[in-house]
Amino acid sequence: MEDNHKDYTRRHFIRQSTLTSLALMALVHCTNRKKKDEGIQNSETGTLDLKIDPNEYLDLPDGFSYRIISTSCEKMSDGLLVPGRPDGMGAFLNEAGKIVIIRNHENSPTPLENSPFGAANELLSNVNLDKLYDSGGGTNPGLGGTTTMIYDEDSKVVEDQFMSLAGTYRNCAGGVSPWGSWITCEEDVTKANGDQIRKDHGYVFEVPMASKGMVTPTPIKAMGRFNHEAVAVDPYSYCIYLTEDRHDGLFYRFIPKEKENLLAGGLLQALAVRNKNSLDTRNWETPTLPKNESMEVFWIDLEDVDSPEDDLRYQGFDAGAARFARGEGIWMGNGELFFACTNGGPKNFGQVFRYRLSPKEGTEDEKNEPATLELYAESNDKTVLHMCDNLTIAPWGDVLLCEDNGELNHIRGIDKDGSIYTLACNRSSTSELTGLVFSPSGKTLFVNVQENGETVAITGPWERFGVPKV
């Protein structure tokens, strides 16, 4: 049965990759123009009208509804509390036909209001400290990590939730693997300093979907120590691509020694553009990088990837690697991937890049058939793209993006014609929306309202958006 679900997970992963390519190709044509779609959009204006939520929480299109399924400080089945600040999420199908949601929590050791161990960490005495990556000597534990929820999509009930990774710092985003695990990333590079901080931070960890409690918190050090954001896995070469949430970050690739065994080690590299040494892609001061220019790339091997001085991005840039403005959300497509740079562009409204894999990706022969990179979209208009962060692909093939701008945050949709629409508007706070992901069936869209500490399930007539042609 386990092998059958592994096969299902890989098939679902590859199908989503195909949809990614269809959907994100529309970004280059993004406009405010709205396409009429009977039953969803206003028949006179063609706009996707949202119904004002009387509870002033989440505005959605007519016929759609939301349910808050998890809230910080609720007691979980393991006796701990749901941590605050939920972020990136992955969704899987288990052997019982239930949805397994693995959810990040972007918490530092303070404030304690976000702690899974209580407002004064009083529940920490009930926990085996060896199960925490950094226990902080029992007084200053890491409050990040992941929680796992088991969700019945028919009854719309969370049947179980528990801590599945503990003691880490600021687990921001990550990515799903084709073999059925959530790869979670620390967006923090705090160094150990004695009793209060026992471990270095800035690593990637893996949480299998089948875990029944806290996993052994083992950092995948070969994937580098830096301000990690998100990952994407190529289901064919098994190369892993990583974004860095820094204003001067790099774009990384990890080639594992063994497929499905990341702890066996591998090679970490940084992307560079041929004949454009140390290219600054940010277009902040001058528009040096035009849109839709396909550039051949190569990869620079990195040394000392544990980076005690948090200088991997400087090491790579000095060696010729390209520089990016806060790499965040990333999704694998069919032979290509797309990643968002939240603060890129002359107005800092955001960029999206496309990386087309080499047919010989990750091998010595790739230099003869190199991969390419292009600036695929760049926003000069808040209504088109305003600091996108997490992104996902809808079952009908549109790209959906969460905004993180400190103002009014939305879930934006972009269809295959390049028309944008607003799928949801957060009225409850200025909090970003995070962790956008569909259930494997496509019936439920899960999203977090981060500063509220809430996870939401959105349901409705998704079929009105159309059926993808894959």
Instruction: Let me know: does 266 contact 351? Beta carbons within 8 Å.
Output: no
pLDDT of residue 381: 80
CA 118 to chain centre: 27
Tally of residues, the chain: 470
Instruction: Give the C-alpha distances (Å, rounded to integers) separating 251 from 59, 66, 71, 268, 373.
Output: 35, 36, 34, 11, 11
**Residue type at position 27:** L
Q: How far apart are the first and last CA of the chain?
A: 28
What does 332-393 look like in DSSP terms, one character per residue? E-SSEEEEEETT-STTSS-EEEEEEPPTTTTSGGGGTS--EEEEEEE-S-TTT-SSEEEEEE
Q: Please give the structure tokens belonging to residue 348.
A: 């800092």
Low-confidence ranges of the chain (pLDDT < 70): 1-48, 383-384, 418, 467-470
Q: Please give the structure tokens belonging to residue 366.
A: 């790739």
pLDDT of residue 23: 53
Instruction: Let me know: does 209 contact 92? Beta carbons within 8 Å.
Output: yes
CA 121 to chain centre: 28
Sheet order of strands, 228-233 included = 228-233, 240-244, 251-256, 266-273, 295-301, 372-378, 351-356, 336-341, 327-332
pLDDT of residue 464: 87
SS3 167: coil
Residue 199: count of CB within 10 angstroms of its CB: 19
Residues 204, 220: Cα–Cα separation, whole Å:
5
pLDDT tens digits, one per residue of 123-154: 999 999 999 999 999 999 999 999 999 999 99
Show the DSSP H helices in 150-191 as ranges.
Answer: none
Instruction: Let me know: does 286 contact 235? Beta carbons within 8 Å.
Output: no
Residues 365, 233: Cα–Cα separation, whole Å:
20
Backbone angles phi, psi at 388, to 5 degrees: -70, 150
- For the four alpha carbons of 424, 430, 434 and 439, in that order, the dihedral sign comes to negative
SS3 99: strand
pLDDT of residue 470: 35
pLDDT of residue 419: 73
pLDDT of residue 286: 82
Exposure on the CB side of residue 305, measured as CA atoms within 13 A: 21
Compute and round to an integer the Cα radius of gyration of the chain: 21
Instruction: Kindly report the pTM of this predicted structure.
Output: 0.92
